[in-house]
Amino acid sequence: MKIDLSLYVITDERIAGRSHLEIAKEVLEGGAKVIQLRDKVKTDREMFTIAREMAKLCHAYDAYLIVDDRVDVALASGADGVHLGPEDLPVYEVRKIVPENFIIGATVHSVEEALRAQEEGADYVGAGSVFPTSTKGREITLIGLSGVKEIASSINIPVVAIGGIRIENLKDLFQAGASGVAICSFILSQKDIREATQALKGEIRRLLNERS
């Protein structure tokens, strides 16, 4: 899959105090190439309208839009893919109904789940939570750096680490085998989201160059 997953930004209006579209524009200007639209409270129509506009914006920046959970919204809006959690439709069923190049990501907490996601046709996995985080607002499973390393060494598709990620722990995550990091609050809580994205993008590029 030829998509740059190194910096994967998840939108959250509550944390940023701005709309999904405003967040998207700032992180795109900061250099992000993948954005996930995540919102658990909006109606179907609201989600469709937001996703449609975000897809247009992402494509104008040569970037990708992934919709969290909602396969229907992702397909109807022209988004590039969907990210599925353990309570969503199975990856293999979604793969049957989406276009060939449609991106499917899957949340995993273990090697067994990662292997299953790969076998079912996922393009990447989101592995976590690596570190403690309050973004989810519920009890989470912590896998730590060792969990990222075990998962990354067990599958052939990209591993995007998620959960409590900050600029200080990027080096450890990439050394553990992560292909990218999914970040929400660390960027969205900053006063200047564009600048924060740019700084993270630069550090990620430096670390990946070191690793190669």
Residue 57's CB is within 10 A of a number of other CB atoms, namely: 17
Q: So what's the pLDDT on residue 162?
A: 97
Tokens of 163: 């959960």
E strand or H helix that includes residue 182: strand 180-183
Distance between CA 163 and CA 145 in Å, rounded? Answer: 11
pLDDT of residue 136 exceeding 90, the answer is no
Cβ atoms of residues 131 and 108 within 8 Å? no
Query: 194, 175, 149: which is closest to 16 by C-alpha?
Result: 194
- Span 143-197, pLDDT tens digits: 999 999 999 999 999 999 999 999 999 999 999 999 999 999 999 999 999 999 9
Domains of the chain, first to last: 7-145+157-189 (3.20.20.70)
pLDDT of residue 137 exceeding 70, the answer is no
Q: So what's the pLDDT on residue 23?
A: 98
Average pLDDT over residues 203-207: 96
Confidence of residue 44 (pLDDT cuts 50, 70, 90): very high
Distance between CA 181 and CA 167 in Å, rounded? Answer: 10
- Span 90-103, pLDDT tens digits: 999 999 999 999 99
Q: How far apart are the two ends of the chain, measured CA to CA in Å?
A: 18
Please give the model's pTM, rounded to 2 decimal places: 0.95
